[in-house]
Amino acid sequence: MIEEKIIEILKSKSGYVSGEEISDHLRLSRQALWKHIQELRDSGYDIVAVPHLGYQLVQLPDRLFPQEIGSGLETKFIGKKIHYQEKVSSTMDLALNLGLQGASEGTVIVTESQSKGRGRLGRNWISPKYKGIYFSVILRPKISPLQASLLTILCAVGLCEAIKENAQIEPQIKWPNDLLINQKKIAGILTELNAEMDEVRFVNIGIGLNVNTEKKALISSATSLKEELGKEVNRVELLKAILRRIETNYLLFRENRRKEIIEKWREYNTTLGKRVKILVRNQHLEGQAVDIDLDGALLVRKDSGVVQKISSGDIILCR
């Protein structure tokens, strides 16, 4: 807490701040202040100390610290509580425990690296340290489990909007949960439910986004923003934009303005109009992806002319 306050003071001034001023303000001894400055430096804050002038914050660390994400976030509830751990098995494991313990809606779990990052159906999500944005958010919508697919859809839209706004590049959405740039995967979304048949208790949305990941750490079907843009992206600012955009779209969902979400989704999608092959629990299906419905399900017109509703599955885009 004191370290957060020191950072606040340093951020509020453009030049040097005297140690005396900080010490007086926070009622610290000069020695205690020095110890906190050292700890901040160890966390990655670049703080210069000059005798007789004081301290200056030269550079923020490339870390997804809660105080950095929370600073100027201006959301209503998403990210009001942020749990940060440098390394976790999966943010979804923590989110499940927190959800069961009654964590409030909008609680975010963020990490710098995951040893067992999860994709859909138990697949792996490679999560190299300090390179990506790996987080989960706990939502508590008053919906039946049958309506939860649209949460994946609205998070995909929020992610696209944030990336477009923040990194000036436009991803495409491959139904149901992948974001692509130049046909390569840049992000994935995992949606997990804890529910009665009548009502969801909570939904955890897990997002893995390759931000500054180097090519050598990526599989051939994946890419990162850095690879596509040729430069690094500030992860803190991007995550803040993502949380804001997810909240905006989630509020549309809560206000039952689902059509607006679907309309935005259509703009980013790369699935509709294409011929697709779909694998759903050992069943194969082929046809034209014609639309998604208000529940977020994909409508596929088979060669027989029959339109089938697909709520989840792996799809291959044929052209």
Q: Within its chain, how far is the Cα of 115 from the centroid?
A: 17
Interhelix angle 30-42/19-26, nearest 10 degrees: 100
Please identify, among the stretches 76-84, 130-138, 143-151, 269-277, the one whose residues bind its own copies according to the rule CB under 8 A.
143-151
The verdict on 61 binding its own copies (CB under 8 A) reads no
Q: Pick the binder of its own copies from 1, 12, 15, 196 (CB under 8 A).
A: 196
Size of the site for its own copies (CB under 8 A): 28
Whichever of 60 and 195 has its CB closer to its own copies, that residue is 195
Q: Using an 8 Å Cβ cutoff, are 78 and 53 in contact?
A: no
Q: Pick the binder of its own copies from 71, 194, 234, 308 (CB under 8 A).
A: 194
The verdict on 190 binding its own copies (CB under 8 A) reads yes
Measured at the CA of 80, the angle between CA 79 and CA 81, to 5 degrees, comes to 85
Distance between CA atoms of 14 and 207, rounded to whole angstroms?
A: 35
The verdict on 47 binding its own copies (CB under 8 A) reads no
The verdict on 308 binding its own copies (CB under 8 A) reads no
Please identify, among the stretches 21-29, 103-111, 225-233, 311-319, the one whose residues bind its own copies according to the rule CB under 8 A.
311-319
| Residue that the structure tokens 């477009």 belong to | 164
User: Least distance from C-beta 152 to its own copies, angstroms?
Assistant: 6
User: Least distance from C-beta 295 to its own copies, angstroms?
Assistant: 9
Work out the burial of residue 300: count CB atoms within 10 Å of its CB; fewer than 13 is exposed, 13-18 middle, 19 or more buried.
buried
Q: Using an 8 Å Cβ cutoff, are 40 and 47 in contact?
A: yes
The verdict on 208 binding its own copies (CB under 8 A) reads no
Lay out the site mask for its own copies across 264-283 (x = CB under 8 A, - = otherwise): -----------------x--
Distance between CA atoms of 146 and 269, rounded to whole angstroms?
A: 22
The verdict on 299 binding its own copies (CB under 8 A) reads no
User: What does residue 92 show for φ and ψ, rounded to 5 degrees?
Assistant: -70, -30
Q: Pick the binder of its own copies from 49, 126, 195, 252 (CB under 8 A).
A: 195
Whichever of 54 and 313 has its CB closer to its own copies, that residue is 313
* Cβ neighbours around 287 below 10 Å, total: 21
Whichever of 78 and 200 has its CB closer to its own copies, that residue is 200
Q: Pick the binder of its own copies from 105, 192, 237, 260 (CB under 8 A).
A: 192
Q: Which residues contact 213 (CB under 8 A, 6 or more apart)?
A: 128, 131, 132, 224, 226, 227
Whichever of 166 and 191 has its CB closer to its own copies, that residue is 191
Whichever of 109 and 200 has its CB closer to its own copies, that residue is 200
How big is the chain by its Cα radius of gyration, in Å? 22
Using alpha carbons, list the distances in angstroms from residue 16 to 64, 131, 132, 135: 25, 31, 33, 35
Closest to 208 (Cα-Cα) out of 255, 253, 155: 155
The verdict on 254 binding its own copies (CB under 8 A) reads no
Beta bridge partners of 316: 277
- Torsion sign (Cα): 174, 180, 185, 189: negative
The verdict on 145 binding its own copies (CB under 8 A) reads yes
Report residue 268 as tokens. Answer: 């980013």
User: Least distance from C-beta 154 to its own copies, angstroms?
Assistant: 13
Lay out the site mask for its own copies across 96-115 (x = CB under 8 A, - = otherwise): x---x---------------
User: Least distance from C-beta 195 to its own copies, angstroms?
Assistant: 5
Residues that bind its own copies (CB under 8 A): 96, 100, 120-121, 142-146, 148-149, 152, 176-177, 190-199, 281, 311-313
